[in-house]
Amino acid sequence: MRTYTPSAKDITRDWYVVDAEGQTLGRLATRVATVLRGKHKPTYTPNLDVGDHVIVVNADKVVVSGAKVDDKQYRTHSGYPGGLRSVPFATMLEKKPTVIVERAVKGMLPKTKLGKAMGGKLRVYAGADHPHAAQQPKPLPDHV
């Protein structure tokens, strides 16, 4: 018996919307990353992008547990000596709440060209509105 491998014409992509209000950041990110990779589908193939599109709304209302609000830092480095910049979680939540969710989800995707393509199907919005009504997104089920 041969292993079934879906071709490009067999892949169907759905659109899901997730409300991040009151949800824990890590648990939200794992659910979203699973859908972006396509691991919730029976046709999942590790070397193909079979995942769905995900819209995350209310990213500014995401929560973290413990003392992470005070302790968590977002670090970037310019590559030059002394070029380390760090921004606390609370500041990042005020100024760029979409970056928090994007970095959490994209950190759970493969670090390859395929992972970059999967990350391109993620849309994050700080408020409750999004411009993707034409795609008729469905709410993401809890069992994913």
From its phi and psi, is residue 68 left (phi > 0), alpha (psi between -120 and 50) or beta?
Answer: alpha
In this structure, are residues 29 and 108 in contact, taking their beta carbons and an 8 Å threshold? yes
Look up the CATH architecture of domain 14-63+96-138. Alpha-Beta Complex (3.90)
Domain ranges of the chain: 14-63+96-138
* pLDDT greater than 90 at residue 16: yes
Q: Distance between CA atoms of 81 and 53, rounded to whole angstroms?
A: 39
Write down the pLDDT at residue 120.
Answer: 97
Q: Give per-residue pLDDT as tens, 84-111.
A: 999 999 999 999 999 999 999 999 999 9
- 110-124 residue pLDDT tens: 999 999 999 999 999
Q: What is the pLDDT of residue 127?
A: 95
Which H, E and C letters describe 15-62, residue by residue?
Answer: EEEEECCCCEHHHHHHHHHHHHHCCCCCCCCCCCCCCCEEEEECHHHC
pTM: 0.93
Please give the pLDDT value at position 144: 80
Percent of the chain surpassing pLDDT 70: 100
Q: How do residues 30-64 score in pLDDT, each as one tens digit? A: 999 999 999 999 999 999 999 999 999 999 999 99
Q: Parallel, antiparallel, or unpaired for β 84-88 and 138-139? A: unpaired
What average pLDDT does the structure give for the chain? Answer: 96
